[in-house]
Structure 1
């Protein structure tokens, strides 16, 4: 989707009064396609993308005709100049992805995009509920658990770890932090076992997995009560590892270290309701960073909303801040923003 401030031509509707997050724009577009076409589009998305769009669909209420028209015009404007260029050119797509992502990362995407979406046994776990994955690996050796946890998306991995016992959680997380590479044959054997169980597809492509950064990513998605206790336990066993993990974690206060353009891009993706709740528990420096990257009128309205909001439960503030952190990390992984402070390596 193109930026909402971009002119849409003489026949386009005015920019909607409310800000439409991009995930909601995607949901509106899919709902206008009909079930069959929407399902075909969703088939090419990853589990987290499907989940985010699905939640947006379920939460949509009172979508106006102007909103729908605006989203459709945004889409037509975005793809209007692309019609016919490179369509069906598998060689071009393969070369482009490999150049952009490297051989290993591109391989799994190429298989999914060009071959028809077959997933490996390990990839199948990404589509499952965290508790179901936990039940599958609960009685496996901790090293196997660590490999699986390292392979999954950090937020899903954090939910799985939360269901495990405290001692098991500590053992697995320390193994994740210590894990840098794994022999391809060992990863393939694990993948084959899971494929037999799930009737999956092709072989795993990469042997690099885990590490301190991965451990930090997973810790970012844990509830603060679990995260704090686990970090303290790691400190008791290996203080240096705990320090390295802590240094790489990205928390809500680190938003103040993001450059202004990045904050502005992030704010376009965050709903005002979530932002108000998240800022109720934020430091003055973070609030000032947010206010300074809004128009004067928008900043005044946000401050009025904060004052009118009243007391908010700590759990609600933490959940809202975690939502914003998740969006920030997704945008950073997509190259749309650069995270500052902890959690980001220097380029």
Structure 2
């Protein structure tokens, strides 16, 4: 989620109207705000506002305009009627000139369509006008050097968002290239940027990204256990990396709540008291009650004593503790000792 200051909201709007209208508007606002808006407008000459920012500002202005027109209509109707009642209070519409900075928030939707790009001939400006998702999509199959050349020519925030949309495996190599000086000629640079613009502008919408491993886990867990083995074996042969990710996600700590009392006792018996005390930090009270209810008096006393010594447990300790519980759960389920459906 990106925060958009009030002065920048005004600057985006004035950048759209331009000319005398912008100058007239600037003369009617407080001096400090006017100074900030002018500085932002100057920055827009090299780094124009993004498509998300423009859409948000326009939407907000349209809401305010409609509200204003509705208010005018109501006022006219009241003037025409001598015995009209007082109007009910209404929640004020957004006012671009009055909202506090914390109200200006632009949330990028997980799936959206992009407006067609009107090219300016300046490839850097055109790239900045495109959504970071479009730029990342255009360069994601390129060499890390090419990607770094494009990114280093973007505004800082735009570059950061573009990096965020790149595959995880690409980012380290791109960062290494960004640390090196760029030695390409201007002619080559312009050709690279132009190509990126042409590819990026053809990306018409942002799709929901579904993690392949997560999708596979959902499917495999939905089939009978005797079918899972052959599926995982075949996946291991064709895509070892994906297979390992699927196996790592097949079992979760919260699966303890799905076990029968007998099976839960088996898992607890294969887990050290120290690891379990770390693993249960912050868990649901119902699951905690179930775990305690399946311990012997001696084991429960030792466990509660261990809990009293824990204090503030770091997240990595919690993760390690839960990993040990999940390992025990996995081994027992795959061996057929317990039943997890």
| TM-score scaled by length of structure 1 | 0.30
Whichever of the two has the greater Rg, that structure is: 2
